[in-house]
């Protein structure tokens, strides 16, 4: 266990360099997350016979990737960054990967902000292509959790979003403090577990939008639980009650939206099916 406990002392978050550009393992994991989600979507399209061709699917992923990046960055600034006022007066710094003349990449992304950006990008896409919004959302519910696993592994390799202090034997030392490898907990709870549940349930799907509603509920619950092992954002700490984090508040909101969406979509589907032909 000792090597595992001290793994950050033996691991370089930078995979390789090309001139002044440093390629981090996190970036590689992010690309793998995207490609894995796209590959999973293509498999589901073929296996479950979605009325989508490869060209349209590729275009959709370009749209949502732009939406996810914009939403994730802006969401972090709005939800988590105490210096929001600075970015409001210096908007050109929001996506500036250089600090002090050195390329450092863009740090600070919010999953919940990414969700908002994704939804907006999907709405724009379906309006232009005249396709079903809920069909796309269900497909994403099946494919995204698979890619999400790599995203959390990327957080682990980048030594960010660390866990709370602990004494468990599988803990990881971070700056001299033994901590939960909470990124890996999240990879399992929010990625693997959610992906398996939706994969097994999909054949029982009763109406369009059901899978994405279930995804919102499952992810929200998984993230809420995982937050108990994740160190609160240092600039925010606990939001209320001495134990509730911003991530938990946003996850509860996401779960509530998922439950409300499920009820509304189920009622709509029932009303449509009961109409006389």
Along the 277 residues of the chain, how does pLDDT read in single tens digits? 789 999 999 889 888 888 877 788 888 998 899 899 999 999 999 999 999 999 999 999 999 999 998 888 888 877 777 666 666 776 766 666 665 555 555 666 777 788 899 999 999 999 999 999 999 999 999 999 999 999 999 999 989 889 999 999 999 999 999 999 999 999 999 999 999 999 999 999 999 999 999 999 999 999 999 999 999 977 778 888 888 998 999 999 999 999 999 999 999 998 887 666 5
CA distance 194 to 187: 10
Asked if 172 and 219 touch (Cβ cutoff 8 Å), the reply is no
CA distance 248 to 225: 8
**From the CA atom positions of the chain, what is the Rg in Å?**
20
E strand or H helix at 23: strand 21-24
Asked if 74 and 113 touch (Cβ cutoff 8 Å), the reply is yes
Burial class (CB in 10 A: 0-12, 13-18, 19+), 134: buried
CA distance 4 to 126: 46
Asked if 134 and 208 touch (Cβ cutoff 8 Å), the reply is yes
Q: Which phi and psi (to 5°) does residue 165 adopt?
A: -60, 145
């Amino acid at each position: 266990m000792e090597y595992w406990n001290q793994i950050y002392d033996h691991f370089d978050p930078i995979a390789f360099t090309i001139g002044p550009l440093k390629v981090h393992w996190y970036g590689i994991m992010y690309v793998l997350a995207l490609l894995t989600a796209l590959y999973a979507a293509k498999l589901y399209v073929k296996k479950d016979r979605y009325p989508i061709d490869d060209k349209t699917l590729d275009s959709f992923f370009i749209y949502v990737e732009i939406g996810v990046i914009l939403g994730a960055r802006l969401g972090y600034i709005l939800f988590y960054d105490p210096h929001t006022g600075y970015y409001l007066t210096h908007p050109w710094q929001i996506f500036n990967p250089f600090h002090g003349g050195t390329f450092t990449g863009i740090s600070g992304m919010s999953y919940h902000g990414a969700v908002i950006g994704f939804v907006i990008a999907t709405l724009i896409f379906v309006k232009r292509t005249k396709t079903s919004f809920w069909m796309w959302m269900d497909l994403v519910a099946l494919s995204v959790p698979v890619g999400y696993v790599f995203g959390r592994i990327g957080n682990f390799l980048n030594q960010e979003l660390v866990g709370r202090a602990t004494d468990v034997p599988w803990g990881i030392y971070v700056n001299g403090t033994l901590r939960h490898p909470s990124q890996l907990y999240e990879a399992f709870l929010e990625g693997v577990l959610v992906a398996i549940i939706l994969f097994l349930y999909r054949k029982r799907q009763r109406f369009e939008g059901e899978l994405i509603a279930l995804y919102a509920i499952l992810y929200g619950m998984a993230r809420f639980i995982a937050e108990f092992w994740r160190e609160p954002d240092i600039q925010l700490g606990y939001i209320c009650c001495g134990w509730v984090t911003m991530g938990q508040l946003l996850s509860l909101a996401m779960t509530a939206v998922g439950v409300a969406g499920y009820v509304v979509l189920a009622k709509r589907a029932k009303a449509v099916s009961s109409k006389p032909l």
